[in-house]
């Protein structure tokens, strides 16, 4: 009877183990984002450069998707002269090869694959991170003159909702920051 090598037996077992681990990986990513899922609302007073105060109403919706999660948010600014400005954003995030780091899937290429936007074309380069109880969305913008703007949205789980910390840095200098509590709906 011919001898069977150990490597011939272990290859199928290792292949099966690899397949099972790959099938379980999306559940691990989904579990991280699931803790943040929900709709949250709140408002904040933001001091402008001239010393006046603007009211901002903010809401965020975080939901799991088949492949990752989506963060949608809006900000409504009540200008001192009574005008109202509203901004809405939504970004899908997919797991990357790094634990807790997510690539933004903001556009489909000609092959139907989701890809990042191009900051060299004035589009934001966006990614996300989940570290402990904080889900962070980063946005990097490259200006026409080669300068940059970096925005960071930290959404930290808190009893009854999220604590939102927003900061904007322009060419290495702090430009704006906002902190507020968003109530889970």
The average confidence (pLDDT) of the chain is 83
Q: What is the CA radius of gyration of the chain?
A: 22
Rounded to whole angstroms, the Cα distance separating 138 from 124 reads 9
Rounded to whole angstroms, the Cα distance separating 133 from 63 reads 16
Is the alpha carbon torsion for 163, 89, 66, 139 positive or negative? negative
| Closest C-alpha to 156, from 62, 29, 43 | 62
Give the mean pLDDT of 136-158: 96
Q: Go through the domains of the chain in sequence order and give each one's CATH number.
A: 6-184 (2.40.128.20)
pTM of this structure = 0.77
User: Quick count: other Cβ atoms within 10 Å of Cβ 93?
Assistant: 27
pLDDT score at 49: 67
In order of 4, 45, 113, 141, the CA distances from 70 in angstroms are: 50, 27, 17, 21
Q: How many helices (H) and strands (E) does the chain have?
A: 1, 12
pLDDT tens column, 82-133 = 889 999 999 999 999 999 999 998 766 667 666 676 878 888 999 999 999 9
In order of 17, 73, 157, the CA distances from 7 in angstroms are: 15, 53, 48
pLDDT band at 24 (very low <50, low <70, confident <90, very high): very low
Rounded to whole angstroms, the Cα distance separating 112 from 99 reads 25
Residue 37: φ, ψ to 5°: -60, 135
Under 8 Å between Cβ of 135 and 128:
yes
pLDDT band at 166 (very low <50, low <70, confident <90, very high): very high
């Amino acid at each position: 009877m011919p001898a069977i090598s150990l490597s011939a037996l272990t290859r199928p077992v290792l292949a099966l183990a690899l397949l099972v681990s790959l099938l379980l990986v999306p559940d691990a990513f989904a579990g991280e984002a699931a803790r943040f899922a929900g709709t949250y609302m709140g408002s904040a007073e933001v001091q402008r450069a001239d010393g006046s105060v603007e009211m901002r109403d903010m809401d965020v919706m975080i939901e799991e998707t088949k492949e990752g999660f989506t963060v949608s948010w809006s900000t409504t600014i009540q200008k001192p002269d009574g005008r109202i400005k509203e901004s809405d954003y939504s970004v899908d995030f997919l797991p990357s090869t790094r634990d807790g780091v997510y690539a933004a899937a903001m556009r489909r290429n000609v092959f139907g694959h989701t890809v990042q936007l191009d900051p060299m074309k004035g589009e934001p380069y966006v990614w996300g991170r989940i570290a402990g109880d904080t889900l962070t969305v980063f946005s990097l913008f490259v200006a026409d003159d080669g300068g940059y703007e970096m925005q960071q949205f930290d959404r930290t789980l808190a009893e009854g909702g999220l604590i939102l910390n927003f900061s904007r840095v322009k060419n290495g200098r702090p430009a704006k920051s906002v902190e507020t509590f968003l109530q889970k709906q």
